[in-house]
């Protein structure tokens, strides 16, 4: 289609940046920081170019021809002895309306977090090398269409994240880092088993007519491709597909993080440096919900249908439980971390609706949560850099001392609560609209609206405790925002505002894919009910 391999460029550019950083002398700190910012800056430009060339009318999901910016070539192909068949792995990348918003989000958040990393003060070289490796992993996950490639990128993120939390984190960094690592690996090994099970169950027809096992996600979505005897074949009357669905779901749920697998998140967030918290909340959490939408839903449509009630239920638990936990926190960062748990619940609720409004809302909520939570973590970072404490009760009346900063804070808080006119409102409204119109989960939806109320509760209470009231004299020397902080907060605020006023920028981007997904899910339902065992 097009000549320039945009997706490979945007994925491997950070890796290239990492090599540059490794070659720079350790003493040249400015250069190291600049490389990281420039590389992620170029990524934003590339993302913008991709957006400008993106064709809004193509759906993607289960139709390979309607994916865009596709790059596909044979990576490994070994013709082997008969019983093993040909082993093949493709280098297969492409985006559709599901991954495009997340790709742009990743580019944006990576850039902002790179600016935010300016304050890192020791072992800069290692930090930025690891940071760029992490960015490669994140972008790769969103653009891969081959399960094998997807898994490699998925796991590639773990190690940099471990070091970024473990070396540059707070007092309990080692505990938080290993907890994160073990939790996520625990999830992803089950993902690996399901991936192999799927590989052994589905075949793809090559150009020369031979059928080979495949890791191709799109081929796996077509029930016709499964062999009669395959371990995870829908034609094979066993309940392994159900087990596999759950295993894969848990793998992703740990990343979301879904209750009861969320306990790593507050620890990781509290200990991680600001930039890494931003990445963690802004991008990493989205991988869980993205994985469910990209893999669980279209590969196992019949089981998704059976389980939507449960997905919605866990979504609602996340919303309410997260909000209640947030309310009880004394640590600013922990509060924001739990608010993430709550907000990701909306994504799950929206997905479970299985209709256009709900899924659009879910994907849009992923994007908005990315920008809003990034802003919230940056806000915590601003104050922590100055005061070296995050206790909610240690402050008071900061609005007097730092008026502009407090302006941004109120903006972000209201966006998080879902004030009309800001982007969070639109996505939450869509989620509720979609979820309410699905009769199956209507009751759950009604209950989870309580989450909005609780959200307003903890956010406004925080605003009151930290920013309003009488100024704590201890902090009467704190300066207001500096240039670097403006550079991080302003773009996010602008995006939140624009998408709040004119959400079609984002909704149009995902619309045709979401429609394709919804029709596909409904159609496969009829297909699966027609199979007679």
Q: Which residues bind other proteins (CB under 8 A)?
A: 75-78, 80-84, 87, 123, 151-152, 155-156, 158-159, 162-163, 166-167, 173-174, 177-178, 181-182, 185-186, 189-190, 192-193, 196-197, 199-200, 231, 240
Indicate the residue among 240 and 400 with the shorter CB distance to other proteins. Answer: 240
- The least CB distance from residue 243 to other proteins, in Å, is 8
Q: Please state the closest distance from residue 200 (CB atom) to other proteins, in A.
A: 6
C-beta of 163 vs 332, nearer to other proteins: 163
For the beta carbon of residue 9, count every other beta carbon within 10 angstroms.
16
For residue 150, give the 3-state DSSP assignment. helix
Q: Which is nearer to other proteins, 74 or 330 (CB)?
A: 74
Which residue, 76 or 443, is less far from other proteins as judged by CB?
76
Q: To 10 degrees, what angle do helices 99-116 and 29-53 make?
A: 160
Distance CA 399, CA 236 (A): 64
- Report the residue number, 82 or 532, with the smaller CB distance to other proteins: 82
Give the shortest CB-254-to-other proteins separation in angstroms.
12
Q: What residues contact residue 147 under an 8 Å CB cut-off, 6+ apart?
A: 195, 198, 199, 215, 216, 217, 220, 295
Q: Which among 435, 308, 331 has a CA at the least distance from the CA of 383? A: 331
Q: Between 92 and 520, whose beta carbon lies closer to other proteins?
A: 92
Q: For residues 264 and 321, which CB has a smaller minimum distance to other proteins in the complex? A: 264
**Cβ atoms within 10 Å of 96's Cβ, excluding its own:** 26
Residue with tokens 């605003």: 463
- Between 120 and 509, CB nearer to other proteins: 120
* Structure letter (DSSP) for residue 466: I
Which residues have CB under 8 Å from 103's CB, separation 6+? 10, 47, 50, 95, 139, 142, 143
CB of 116 to other proteins, least distance (A): 22
Residue 69, phi-psi category: left (phi > 0), alpha (psi -120 to 50), beta (remainder)? left
Four-residue CA torsion sign, 32, 34, 38, 44? positive
The C-alpha atoms of residue 403 and residue 198 are separated, in whole angstroms, by 56
Q: Least distance from C-beta 310 to other proteins, angstroms?
A: 22
**Minimum distance of other proteins from residue 292's CB (angstroms):** 20
Closest by Cα among 133, 135, 128 to 105: 135
- Nearest approach, Cβ of residue 360 and other proteins (Å): 33
Using the structure block, give the residue that is written with the tokens 């290692």.
126
Q: Which letter does DSSP use for residue 232 in this model?
A: T
d(CA 474, CA 488): 27
Rounded Cα distance, 61 and 513, in Å: 6
Q: 338 near 329, Cβ under 8 Å?
A: yes
Tokens 């479970």 correspond to what residue?
A: 352
32 versus 156: smaller Cβ distance to other proteins: 156
Is the CB of 4 or the CB of 182 nearer to other proteins?
182
Q: How far is the CB of 189 from other proteins (least distance, A)?
A: 4
Min. distance of Cβ 197 from other proteins in angstroms? 5
Minimum distance from residue 301 beta carbon to other proteins (Å):
22
Bond before 257 cis per omega within 30 degrees: yes
End-to-end CA distance of the chain: 43
Other beta carbons within 10 Å of 128: 27
**Which of residues 150 and 432 has its CB atom nearest to other proteins in the complex?**
150
Q: How far is the CB of 6 from other proteins (least distance, A)?
A: 22
Cβ distance to other proteins smaller for residue 88 or 390: 88
Residue number with CB closer to other proteins (78 or 494): 78
Distances from the Cα of 24 to the Cα of 32, 129, 160, 196, angstroms: 7, 11, 19, 41
The one-character DSSP state at 77 is E
Minimum distance, C-beta of residue 201 to other proteins, in the bound complex (Å): 10
CB of 235 to other proteins, least distance (A): 16
């Amino acid at each position: 289609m097009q000549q320039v391999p945009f997706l490979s460029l945007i994925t491997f550019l950070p890796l290239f940046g990492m090599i540059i950083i490794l070659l720079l002398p350790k003493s040249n700190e400015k250069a190291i920081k600049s490389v990281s910012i420039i590389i992620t800056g170029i990524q934003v430009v590339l993302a913008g170019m991709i957006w400008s060339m993106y064709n809004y009318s193509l759906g993607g999901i289960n139709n390979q021809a309607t994916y865009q910016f596709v790059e596909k070539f044979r990576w490994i192909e070994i013709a082997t002895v008969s019983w093993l068949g040909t082993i093949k792995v493709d280098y297969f990348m492409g985006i559709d309306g599901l991954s495009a918003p997340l790709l742009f989000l990743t580019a944006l958040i990576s850039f902002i977090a790179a600016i935010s990393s300016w304050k890192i003060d020791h072992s800069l070289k290692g930090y930025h090398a690891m940071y760029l490796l992490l960015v490669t992993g994140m972008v790769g996950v969103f653009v891969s269409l081959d399960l094998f490639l997807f898994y490699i990128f998925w796991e590639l993120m773990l190690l940099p994240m471990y070091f970024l939390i473990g070396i540059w984190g707070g007092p309990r960094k080692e505990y938080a880092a290993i907890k994160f690592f073990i939790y996520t690996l625990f999830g992803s090994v089950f993902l690996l088993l399901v991936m192999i099970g799927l590989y052994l169950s589905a075949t793809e027809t090559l150009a020369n007519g031979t059928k080979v096992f495949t890791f191709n996600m799109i081929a796996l979505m077509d029930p016709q491709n499964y062999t009669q005897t395959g371990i995870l074949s829908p034609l094979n009357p066993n309940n392994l597909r159900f087990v596999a669905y759950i295993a894969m779901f848990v793998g992703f749920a740990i990343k979301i993080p879904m209750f009861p697998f969320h306990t790593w998140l507050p620890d990781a967030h509290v200990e991680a440096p600001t930039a890494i918290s931003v990445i963690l909340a802004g991008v990493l959490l989205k991988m869980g919900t993205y994985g469910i939408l990209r893999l669980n839903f279209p590969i196992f449509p019949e089981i998704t249908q059976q389980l939507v009630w449960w997905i919605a239920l866990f979504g609602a638990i996340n919303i309410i439980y997260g909000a209640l936990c947030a309310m009880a926190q004394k640590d600013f960062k922990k509060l924001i971390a739990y608010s993430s748990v709550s907000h990701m619940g909306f994504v799950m609720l929206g997905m479970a609706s299985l209709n256009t409004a709900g899924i659009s809302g879910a994907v849009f909520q992923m994007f908005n949560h990315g920008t809003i939570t990034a802003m919230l973590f940056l806000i915590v970072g601003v104050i922590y850099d100055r005061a070296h404490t995050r206790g909610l009760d240690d402050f008071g009346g900061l609005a007097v001392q730092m008026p502009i900063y407090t302006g941004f804070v109120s903006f972000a808080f209201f966006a998080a609560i879902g004030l009309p006119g800001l982007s969070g409102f639109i996505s939450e409204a869509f989620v509720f609209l979609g979820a309410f119109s699905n009769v199956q989960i209507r009751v759950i939806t009604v209950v989870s609206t309580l989450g909005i109320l609780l959200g307003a509760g903890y956010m406004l209470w925080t605003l009151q405790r930290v920013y309003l009231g009488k100024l704590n004299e201890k902090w009467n020397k704190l300066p207001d925002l500096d240039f670097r902080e403006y550079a991080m907060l302003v773009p996010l605020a602008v995006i939140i505002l624009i998408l709040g006023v004119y959400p079609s920028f984002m909704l149009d981007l995902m619309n045709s894919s979401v429609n394709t997904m919804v029709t596909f899910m409904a159609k496969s339902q009829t297909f699966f009910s027609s199979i007679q065992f």
